[in-house]
Amino acid sequence: MNVTIVDYKSGNISSVINSFKEVAENKVKIEVTSDVSKIKSTDKVVLPGQGSFKSCVDALQSIKGLVDCLNEFVMNKKKPLLGICVGLQMFADVGYEESETKGLGWIPGKVTKINNQNGKYKLPHIGWNQINLVKDSKIFKDIKDKSHMYFVHSYEFVPTDKSSISATTDYSSKHVCAVEKENIFGTQFHPEKSDKTGLKIINNFIKMLVCFLEIL
């Protein structure tokens, strides 16, 4: 089985690469590429993201055929994809960081700035926070409610379909920090920086079914 981490120059993704390779233990091939032909043939995709919503979307679009390839992979082939941080945010229809920017539209919703309550809460939100599990999720198998995860963000994904929310966190107010919709998974927090619990989430993603067409 192959797991492909999409490298579209969205920032330093070395910790993502290292964590997946650590969990895979040479039993699963971990590939890092932006080559569309390789992404088309892989079993699972990881979409990381650092920086602003707009810069990440622009970077994806700058690679010929990449957005169409990801759309085909997720929406038609129904293969598993995990978005991390801004990788999750790009699932939305639209984001409002820097300017109004169209997202991938895989899970209806928008990305807006966290309300810091007139400076009471520091932005970006950096550090460890508890997550609240709100539904059974394949990536949260054997993960305890109220586990601590590591966050770095100033913006939040607000999905219109609340059934896609798999976990929330409390910072200023309650925010979505994980989503699941069929074969689409995302975490606002960084599992690759969240110690053994984060590695367990990565392991759950690696081990799940390759094609969700088998169960739909």
- 69, 85, 97, 153: which one is catalytic? 85
Q: Which residues, in sequence order, are CB contacts of 33 under 8 Å at separation 6+? A: 4, 5, 6, 7, 39
Clarify whether 153 is annotated catalytic: no
DSSP for 25-74, please give it.
Answer: TTSSEEEEE--HHHHHH-SEEEE---S-HHHHHHHHHTSTTHHHHHHIII
* Count of positions (residues) in the chain: 216
Clarify whether 85 is annotated catalytic: yes
Whole-Å CA distances, 101 to 6, 156, 161, 211: 21, 14, 20, 30
At 175, is the secondary structure helix, strand, or coil? strand
Clarify whether 190 is annotated catalytic: yes
- 97, 156, 180, 192: which one is catalytic? 192
Q: Which residues, in sequence order, are CB contacts of 41 under 8 Å at separation 6+? A: 2
- Positions marked catalytic: 85, 190, 192
